[in-house]
Amino acid sequence: MFNLVLFGPPGSGKGTQAANLIEKYKLVHLSTGDLLRSEIANKTPLGVEAKKIMDAGQLVPDEVVIGIIDNCLEKNAGANGFLFDGFPRTITQAKALDKLLELKKNQINLVLALQVNEEELVRRLLERGKTSGRSDDTSEEVIRKRFQVYTNETEPVAQHYKESDKFKAIPGEGSVDDIFGNLSTAIDEYNKGE
């Protein structure tokens, strides 16, 4: 089983590349946001718990999110692997995910981070904001804040995976095909070494 974490700031093209990687490597897309919405819609015990917390205006605790991830891993036990999108965002989450996967005799194999300079991200998001309908894509100030939050949250997580030689930065500028080629090369090189 091959487990990949894909990082990238808002506007880095992570969504596009995730879809390409899922198709090429036959991975299960594990987006914590999508999983949470699904658990809530299906009124599962974890979904009911998460909804209560969210309705109170609070963040869903890591234990609940890890429980939801565990459910997804169980439901897809025969998968080739998983692409983790939007998780882990903190060191605590990274360690909890490592522990969960270890219990399943598994691990995160590779963490790929799309690197795009801030000016390019601002340009891309303002452009996307013209058609996306997302208010957070129309204000340069909000975009720069989102980039700062992303950097502050993910730097420690990147460091966590660098310490175990699982982290690789990938240039996130250029054509979609070039970026996809660079991501694929990193995955193929990892898989050759296994």
Positions marked active-site:
14, 89, 128, 134, 146
| DSSP symbol at 137 | G
Query: Quick check: 87 and 32 in contact, CB under 8 A?
Result: yes
Query: 8: which residues sit within 8 A by CB, 6+ positions away?
Result: 14, 17, 113, 114, 116, 172
Neighbours of 122 (CB within 10 A): 15
- Buried-exposed string 55-83: b where 16+ CB fall within 10 A, e elsewhere: eeeeebebebbbbbbbbbbeeeeebebbb
As a whole number of angstroms, the distance between CA 114 and CA 158 comes to: 12
Query: Quick check: 1 and 106 in contact, CB under 8 A?
Result: yes
